[in-house]
Amino acid sequence: MRTRAYILLVVLMVAAIGTAEAQHKKRGHQREFDLEVRGGVNMCQIDGDASGNYNKMGFHAGLNTSFPLSDDGSWRFVVELGLTQKGSRINSSSLDRTISLLYVEVPLMLAYDMFDGNKLRAGVGVAPAILASANVKTDGVYDELHSQNYKRMDALPICVSLRYKITDHFGTDVRYYNSMLNIAKENGIGTYRISRSNKGQFNRLVQAGITIDF
């Protein structure tokens, strides 16, 4: 039921964006919606899994739009739908494990455009995500028990974004994600966020990639 409600929320947001875009399409450029495709690499780790390095590589791809919140269009609200791979790589004398978690995510961010041509955009928000697949390998062999130990949602990752447009249509961006809620069903070592009762494992990653604006 939670997954269905989440999908319904995404559909309603997309419908609302389409309606608002139709209402604003005749206004000036700064008042219009924009459209952006982004993709690149992730450098990931999971806090609380006995590994503390960004040594798990992944990927991300997404499509986003933003609409103005201020009259000059500098303050904007960004809505994105994307696919991102999180996880970690544990390689010690006692354990060799790779955790690959593939999520469908919906970043929602407040952004501010700066400089001539809005070349630099800084944003902050949340990026709730639904787990599409989990693949854990221990000593190179698929580990079914640990693969099934991850929750269906990474419900509250905070997200900080910085994008720079090299040309009108091409740019680069970096993002930082940090989950605020435990992503694992059961935990061995574990750490905590916000309060000690919120203990377990938490995704943390840095993204770097390119953007294409239309």
The contacts found for 23-32 with CB under 8 angstroms, 24 or more apart, are 24/67, 29/73, 30/68, 30/72, 30/73, 30/74, 31/68, 31/73
Indicate the pLDDT class of residue 182, thresholds 50, 70 and 90.
very high
pLDDT at 124 over 70: yes
Collapse the DSSP code of 86 into the 3-class scheme (helix H, G, I; strand E, B; otherwise coil) and give the result: strand
Indicate the pLDDT class of residue 177, thresholds 50, 70 and 90.
very high
Q: Are 178 and 202 in contact (CB under 8 A)?
A: yes
Q: What is the mean pLDDT of residues 192-213?
A: 93
The pTM assigned to this predicted structure is 0.84
Indicate the pLDDT class of residue 27, thresholds 50, 70 and 90.
very low
Indicate the pLDDT class of residue 93, thresholds 50, 70 and 90.
confident
Phi, psi angle pair for 155, to nearest 5°: -80, -25
How high is the pLDDT of residue 155? 95
Per-residue tokens: 128: 């709730």
Indicate the pLDDT class of residue 92, thresholds 50, 70 and 90.
confident
Q: What is the mean pLDDT of residues 78-86?
A: 97
Beta bridge partners of 111: 76, 123
Mean pLDDT of the chain: 87
How high is the pLDDT of residue 214? 86
